[in-house]
Amino acid sequence: MIVYEGKAVFEGIAIGKIYVYTKVEQAVKRTKVEDTEAEISRYADARNKAIEQLKQLYEKAVKEVGESSAEIFEAHQLMVDDEDYIESVEHIIRTEGVNAEYAVAQTGDNFAKMFSEMEEEYFRGRAADIKDITERILNALSGAGAGGIESEEPVIVVADDLAPSETVQMDKEKILSFVTVHGSANSHTSILAKTMSIPAIIGVQIPLNEESNGKLAIVDGFEGKVYVEPDADILAAKKKILMQEEEKKALLQRLKGKENVTLDGQKINLYANIGNTKDLGLVLQNDAGGIGLFRSEFIYLGSDSYPTEEEQFAIYKQVAQTMAGKKVIIRTLDIGADKQADYFELPKEENPAMGLRAIRICLTRPEVFKTQLRAILRASAFGKISIMFPMIISVDEVRQIKKIVEEIKQELDDAGITYDKEIELGIMIETPAAVMIADDLAEEVDFFSVGTNDLTQYTLAIDRQNQSLDAFYDSHHPAILRMLQMIVDAAHRHGAWAGICGELGADLSLTKEFLAMGYDELSVSPGSILPIRKTVLETNVAEYKQQ
Ligand code: PEP
Ligand code: MG
């Protein structure tokens, strides 16, 4: 067994034979020509042919991988038609009196080199696109056809790098995974692999010859490893993971697109919890109805200094746009306790879980809070955003918050900046105090979301970070379950809606109970959405209540 490592761009396991994909390289010769104008018209024909092929590829890709991934073939059409590129080829033909193939190859090399030396990673990635269109025009000049996979069974495609046109030409049924020696995480091959939901690893130093070709291999997109001729125990272990993954996928396929409605017609929203924009792919794959908790503090934790309004705005806007009108609940900064960022210079505390954290920091450092609120409000013009405030203990806090939100709205109005004027405001219920005054709080806000992780810690007086207390920790403690009922009832009495975004929300043994309590929403990690949907679809709430 040989193990190669690389950078995984899509998770999953693939087991199968390796197919080493080698390009049909065009050996371009430089030859002198008499009639340069005839050569230029050959080049024009080849260009038209290339554009025609790209149009067809675009259509094929739209059907197979969707419009946004197909856009690359539109971009390639523009590149083939690019004035600078055309001018360069024609110039070489005329001044050097050479064949079109040589002029195209020369131009392609020059342009690719220029892009690969650019500073920004995005432009460096475009060098591969230049090579791709150059190869296409060369094929059109020589009349060569397009490459594909010659194999009866599905294979692991191993290549030096793959151009988008090569991946889309391949028969998808025959591809288990992509492994490339080169390529970037932003390359279109990676994007296509993600859209096709197949494991892909880049930057793998695997030999592209008989040493690999045809051999049995495992691609582990979780670990970023390729096992060639795996040992029996590794093979058995990975097969087990593969089977579990396939079961999950089958569940996903059956339940995707279905409404979360019980047998007796009660509906519930199933949303996803996220920590950063990287989780958005999973949110969409798992068919979340929205984002119920965006833990915005991760933006602060991933930074060496306070993230600026612009940095935050760009992130919130991206999330809102990706969710395309579905609800995105952004929780304001919940730093402190177990989540520390040095630049906040928070005081050392005896009892950090009960210290200066979350909304307490925001209210004592209004400039930090206001920067975040401005960013969120500005982003609200690009989707359906709600704002949620953590660790609330009093009505007075909520009123202070609402006053600050109004101030920011006024500032935005004065500056003529658009935002959602009806933006929903909600609070997390994660302290026993908030539960006890839930009726008063519900009058102030549009929604409640229960943070059962903290609510359990503060109610049972059990530090959620302390593993040695696990024996005492009862997540189904009657105190918590009764509180959950009190919270949703208080919300509904005052026209607010209520959800759960703590880990308990994903506890399948309580899904029926949450429905019976009347919860409107559960927000859980993306992978838990479909299993909960399954339970919802199988539940009869009226019958459950009678038991
Ligand atoms: C909670 O306390 O349940 C919660 C969702 O917030 P966090 O886990 O981020 O504290
Ligand atoms: Mg919490």
Q: What is the DSSP string of 430-497?
A: -SHHHHHTHHHHHHH-SEEEE-HHHHHHHHHT--TT-GGGGGG--TT-HHHHHHHHHHHHHHHHTT-E
**Considering every ligand atom, which ligand is closest to the CA of 450?**
1
> Over the stretch 72-95, which tens digit does the pLDDT of each residue have?
889 999 999 999 999 999 999 999
CA of 77 to the centre of ligand 2 (A): 50
> Is residue 350 helix, strand or coil?
coil
- Judge if the beta carbon of residue 295 lies within 6 A of ligand 1: yes
CA of 293 to the centre of ligand 2 (A): 11
> Is residue 293 helix, strand or coil?
strand
pTM exceeding 0.85: no
- Judge if the beta carbon of residue 454 lies within 6 A of ligand 1: yes
Q: Whose CA is nearest to atom 6 of ligand 1?
A: 451
- Judge if the beta carbon of residue 297 lies within 6 A of ligand 1: no
Partners of residue 502 on adjacent β-strands: none
What the chain holds in terms of domains, given with CATH numbers, is: 2-19+148-234 (3.50.30.10), 36-142 (1.10.274.10), 263-546 (3.20.20.60)
> Over the stretch 410-467, which tens digit does the pLDDT of each residue have?
999 999 999 999 999 999 999 999 999 999 999 999 999 999 999 999 999 998 877 7
Residue 392: per-residue pLDDT: 98
Closest atom of ligand 1 to 502 CA is: 3
Residue 100: per-residue pLDDT: 95
- Catalytic positions, please? 188, 501
**Residue 145 clears pLDDT 60, i.e. is over it:** no
- By most ligand atoms within 8 Å of CB, the mutation choice from 454, 456, 480, 521 for ligand 1 is 454
Residue 257: per-residue pLDDT: 92
Residue 415: per-residue pLDDT: 97
> Over the stretch 503-525, which tens digit does the pLDDT of each residue have?
999 999 999 999 999 999 999 98
Q: From edge to edge, which strands make up the β-sheet containing 200-202?
A: 2-5, 225-228, 216-220, 13-21, 155-159, 175-180, 200-202, 7-10
Q: Whose CA is nearest to atom 1 of ligand 1?
A: 451
- Judge if the beta carbon of residue 451 lies within 6 A of ligand 1: yes
Residue 15: per-residue pLDDT: 97
Residue 278: per-residue pLDDT: 77
Residue 185: per-residue pLDDT: 63
CA of 461 to the centre of ligand 2 (A): 14
- By most ligand atoms within 8 Å of CB, the mutation choice from 271, 334, 338, 487 for ligand 1 is 334
Query: Do the Cβ atoms of 184 and 121 come closer than 8 Å?
Result: yes
- Residue percentage of the chain with pLDDT more than 70: 95
Residue 404: per-residue pLDDT: 98
- Judge if the beta carbon of residue 334 lies within 6 A of ligand 1: yes
Q: Whose CA is nearest to atom 3 of ligand 1?
A: 451
**Considering every ligand atom, which ligand is closest to the CA of 506?**
1
Contacts 24+ apart (CB under 8 A), 409-413: 409/377, 411/374, 412/374, 412/377, 412/378
- Judge if the beta carbon of residue 357 lies within 6 A of ligand 1: no
**Window from 110-124, 253-267, 284-298 with minimum mean pLDDT:** 110-124
CA of 484 to the centre of ligand 1 (A): 15
- Judge if the beta carbon of residue 132 lies within 6 A of ligand 1: no
Closest atom of ligand 1 to 430 CA is: 2
Q: Phi and psi of 73, rounded to 5°? A: -75, -20
> Over the stretch 300-314, which tens digit does the pLDDT of each residue have?
988 889 999 999 999
Closest atom of ligand 1 to 453 CA is: 3
**Residue 236 clears pLDDT 70, i.e. is over it:** yes
CA of 435 to the centre of ligand 2 (A): 14
pLDDT band at 527 (very low <50, low <70, confident <90, very high): confident
The DSSP symbol for 21 reads E
Residue 369 vs residue 142, higher pLDDT? 369
**Residue 108 clears pLDDT 60, i.e. is over it:** yes
CA of 359 to the centre of ligand 1 (A): 13
- Report d(CA 423, CA 463) in Å as an integer: 34
- Report d(CA 238, CA 484) in Å as an integer: 41
CA of 453 to the centre of ligand 1 (A): 5
Residue 253 vs residue 342, higher pLDDT? 342
> How much is the average pLDDT of 3-32?
87
> Over the stretch 149-195, which tens digit does the pLDDT of each residue have?
778 899 999 998 887 667 766 777 889 999 999 876 656 667 667 66
> Over the stretch 28-56, which tens digit does the pLDDT of each residue have?
889 999 999 999 999 999 999 999 989 98
Quote the strand ranges of 117-223, DSSP E: 155-159, 175-180, 200-202, 216-220
Q: Whose CA is nearest to atom 8 of ligand 1?
A: 453
Residue 344 CA to its chain's centroid (Å) = 29
- By most ligand atoms within 8 Å of CB, the mutation choice from 296, 357, 453 for ligand 1 is 453
**Window from 58-67, 120-129, 274-283 with minimum mean pLDDT:** 58-67
**Residue 148 clears pLDDT 70, i.e. is over it:** no
> Is residue 97 helix, strand or coil?
coil
Query: Do the Cβ atoms of 530 and 286 come closer than 8 Å?
Result: yes
Residue 140: per-residue pLDDT: 87
- Residue percentage of the chain with pLDDT more than 90: 69
CA of 23 to the centre of ligand 2 (A): 53
**Considering every ligand atom, which ligand is closest to the CA of 502?**
1
- Judge if the beta carbon of residue 452 lies within 6 A of ligand 1: yes
Q: What is the DSSP string of 314-327?
A: HHHHHHHHHTTTSE
